[in-house]
Chain A
Amino acid sequence: MNATILGEAELIERFLSAPTAENYAMLFRVIAPQVVAFLRVRGCDPPLAEDISQEIMLIVYRKSSELRDRELFRAWLFRVARNALLQHRRSETRQVQTEDIEPRLRSHREPGDDLLLAFQFDEWMSALHTDEREIMTLRFVEGLEYHEIASVLSLPLGTVQWKVFHSKRKLMAQFGVTQGVQNARH
């Protein structure tokens, strides 16, 4: 059966109800690219993003039976992805004896190998605090709903809503509004 005929929600439901290799493969084709994008957007180069994605997709197969609320599959998936990335960064940090993870990753970014640097989105996000940046990226790039973001980051729903609103106000104040921002860049 062609995965594109079924929506993502149906594929998730199918896989969780019957975790067969066929259902897994159909779901894989839809969500693996999202996982790779999640990692690329957070500074991983393509080979690393693919390696970590593969680990995450194995966890999806092995651990999804633990998921209590099927509606929160996407939130669970990105929480797993986030934890895998943090774990990778921690192990990398231990290897190079660096103190702070976030600034280190950002300082190592070079135009040639960093996807984000080619995009306006990065410039906007750099105006925000780390937590706001993460919330806005989950909201707009991963397309998560507020309750899903709250679940991924273990935050109260109201906090997420408020931070999205506050971040937008900040962006408006910092860059002017949309057309102006776009014109300045392009």
Chain B
Amino acid sequence: MHGIDEETWLAFLDGEAAPGVEGHLRWCVECAETVEQLRALRGTLLAEARRLRDAAGISEARMEQMLDACLEQLACDREWTPQQATYLLRSLLEPFCGAGAAKTITELTIRKSASQGFDPAGWRLFVGNLSRNVESICGIATGRLIARAGFSLSVGSA
């Protein structure tokens, strides 16, 4: 538009500095008017969206009920010990690469990852490493399956 590329216009309208555009707007009435209209439209959209968002909220009492229900449900979630969770992943892996390879990959990954213990962060590290190791041997899909299964388990300390 008027010798200014689209990308520069978009950046300018998003509030980025664009000296070329600013200079152009000083003398081009048409563009100055369009920019002003776009800014006004943005303000109106924001105001209307805020009204809509406010009207779509929920009461504090209802929210507390929802929170209580969620916490209650989460409390029922089973927490696995690291040994149980590792065994589950190994069992999941066996059909893809055989029991021997599954055992070896799992044990090597434990040696590599478990030096900091199996707190939640340690478990995530272990699952990430195991997923990568499995991926290199059994393929991307199996690696991802292991990652998804591993990350979905709630693991507590031994």
Q: Could you list which residues of chain A lie within 8 angstroms of chain B, going by C-beta atoms?
A: 19, 21, 24-25, 28-29, 32-33, 36-37, 40-41, 46, 50, 53-54, 57-58, 61-63, 65-66, 115-116, 118-121, 124, 136-137, 140-141, 143, 146, 158, 161-162, 165, 168-169, 171-172, 177-179, 181-182
With contact pairs A21-B71, A140-B49, A172-B38 given, residues A115 and B44 touching in the complex (Cβ less than 8 Å): no
Residue-wise interface mask of B (73-96) relative to A, using a CB-CB cutoff of 8 A (1 in contact, 0 not): 110010000000000000000000
Residue of A nearest to B71 (CB): A21
* Docked-complex contact A37 and B56, CB < 8 angstroms: yes
* Docked-complex contact A66 and B45, CB < 8 angstroms: no
Q: Could you list which residues of chain B lie within 8 angstroms of chain A, going by C-beta atoms?
A: 6-7, 9-10, 13-14, 37-38, 40-46, 48-49, 51-53, 55-58, 62-63, 66-67, 69-71, 73-74, 77, 120, 124, 147, 151-152, 154
Q: How far apart are the CA atoms of A28 and B67 in the complex, in Å? A: 7
B124 surroundings in chain A (CB, below 8 A) = 65
* Docked-complex contact A58 and B49, CB < 8 angstroms: no
Residue of B nearest to A68 (CB): B128
Add 7 more A-B contacts to A54-B66, A115-B55 (CB < 8 A).
Answer: A25-B71, A28-B63, A61-B74, A65-B151, A119-B55, A137-B49, A178-B43
* Docked-complex contact B44 and A181, CB < 8 angstroms: yes
B48 surroundings in chain A (CB, below 8 A) = 119-121, 124, 140
* Docked-complex contact A33 and B41, CB < 8 angstroms: no
* Docked-complex contact B37 and A172, CB < 8 angstroms: yes
* Docked-complex contact A36 and B58, CB < 8 angstroms: yes
Q: How far is the CB of A137 from chain B (nearest CB, A)?
A: 8
* Docked-complex contact B52 and A29, CB < 8 angstroms: no
Q: How far is the CB of B56 from chain A (nearest CB, A)?
A: 4
Other-chain residue from B52, B77, B151 in contact with A66 (beta carbon distance below 8 A): B151
Q: How far is the CB of A132 from chain B (nearest CB, A)?
A: 13
Q: How far is the CB of A156 from chain B (nearest CB, A)?
A: 13
Q: How far is the CB of B143 from chain A (nearest CB, A)?
A: 14
Q: How far apart are the CA atoms of A117 and B77 in the complex, in Å? A: 40
With contact pairs A19-B120, A165-B10, A165-B13 given, residues A41 and B154 touching in the complex (Cβ less than 8 Å): no
With contact pairs A29-B63, A46-B58 given, residues A58 and B74 touching in the complex (Cβ less than 8 Å): yes
